[in-house]
Amino acid sequence: MNGELQPDALVAADGTGEFRNIAEALKAYKLNSKGWYVIYVKAGVYEENIFISKDQINVYIYGDGIDKTIVYGSKHSTDEFPAYRTAVVAVLGNGFVCKSMTIQNRATTGREAVALRIQGDKAAIFNCKIEGAERTLYAVAHRQFYRECIISGSQDIIFGDSSIVIQKSLIMEIKKALEAACPSMVSCADTITLATRDAVALGGGPNYTVPTGRRDRLVSNMKDVTLPGPTFTVSEGFQVFRSKGLTLGDMVTILGAHTVGVAHCSFFEDRVSNFHGTGRPDPTIDRNLAANHSKICASNPNTDPTVFLDQTTGFVFDNEYYKQLLLKRGIMQIDQELASDRSSVGIVSSFARNGIGFKQSFAKATVKLASTQVLVGISEVRTNYRVFNANKQSKSRSQENSTKGIVIKRF
């Protein structure tokens, strides 16, 4: 998707489209059709409650951007009107995708007011703002994926029984609830570590225990973030891990987190179309995969499209990532190098055969990673994720740089 699909329906509040609201566009959905039903919603404000039935599968709705395309409602729960019926957007169909828009429940009564309710399987939400008060996102069931989203509310913001993965997103007001329950005790660093653990478990991965007690830095310094790049060789990547006291096995294991999530074309596009300036794809990548992803990346280069890192079970935490590497279907160069370098291919093959063994090793390696360079000395427990505590602003950079700090790795 990511721009390469032509819309089947154009919605515009100003009357310049085929429909004036999304609900009307959904009525044009043809049951039992194959492929995507794509709805483009032009910038504007739409007051409506949208229901996508279980028979409406593979519905893809996209707008012109957060706070440009806004869909809102104002229903709230009562004794006779349950919370699930308050959703501004309710999705029962499988394969739902939503991108680049804002979904708001503007109810202000202090009762439950859901913005988005999803109970279909394989839902994916990209670059969306989901706003409400109490119980904003009702992730009812099945597999759901959120990336580069803003999810906000007053309490119980995300609830339900789905297997949900949230990447590179802001979840607002959670820190406020933590501060109310236990002031100045739970740091941002601990919250990220615990959220990562829970996301892994909800995706079908291991449920492990991580130590807490981390503190937050007084400044943010990009030079302290040491991550292996997408084009690193195995030896280059290992140098980064080894500097943190981690082994080659730890590196191969932790990169297995690529069994879920997506990558932007800018991280791998040269591999599928112009490897090292040759005008041809990387010889270590499957030809069909290269051809398909080359088309995706070329479809709308201005938006830097994304593809799943795991081509088969991108929503599930399993060992399929390693199986794909052995088939030359790794997306980023550092991934595929694991299956061609003599020092790491044995570990890849072992994990491809033994999914349980991979999950056990991942839990151990992740706990080990989370224990590296834990911050001591001059630090704080931040009361707001986005800003430093006011009384700490006078601390100088030189003071802060005299201490070692935790580095949260994202692979």
Q: Which residues are annotated as a binding site for substrate?
A: 228
Name the residue among 129, 130, 150, 145 with its Cα closest to residue 96: 145
Query: To the nearest 10°, the Cα dihedral for 228, 230, 233, 239?
Result: 0
Residue carrying the six token digits 């308050």: 86
Q: What whole-number distance in Å separates Cα of residue 106 and Cα of residue 46?
A: 13
Placement of tokens 């224990």 in the chain = 371
The amino acid sitting at 136 is: T
Task: Enumerate the H helices of 354-403 as residue ranges.
Answer: 355-370, 397-400
- Annotated binding-site residues read 228, 258-259, 310, 313, 318
Annotated binding site for heme b: which residue ranges?
A: 258
b/e string for 74-112 if b means 16 or more Cβ within 10 A?
ebbbeeeeebbebbbbbbbbbbbbbbbbbbbbbbeeebb
Pair 44, 13: CB distance under 8 Å: yes
DSSP symbols for 71-118 = EEE-----SSS-GGGG-SEEE-STT-EEEEEEEEE---SSSB--SEEE
3-class secondary-structure state, position 356? helix
Question: Can you tell me which residue has the tokens 């990547």?
Answer: 237
List, in order, residues 6 or more apart from 176 with CB less than 8 Å away. none
Q: Which value, in Å, is the radius of gyration of the alpha carbons in the chain? A: 23
Decide: helix, strand or coil at residue 138.
strand
Binding residues for Ca(2+): 259, 310, 313, 318
How far apart are the C-alpha atoms of 321 and 297, rounded to whole Å?
21
The catalytic position among 135, 143, 214, 329 is 143
| 143 has catalytic annotation | yes
Tokens representing 26 are 């959904």
Yes or no: say if 404 and 373 are a contact pair by the CB < 8 Å rule: yes
Give the catalytic positions in this structure: 143
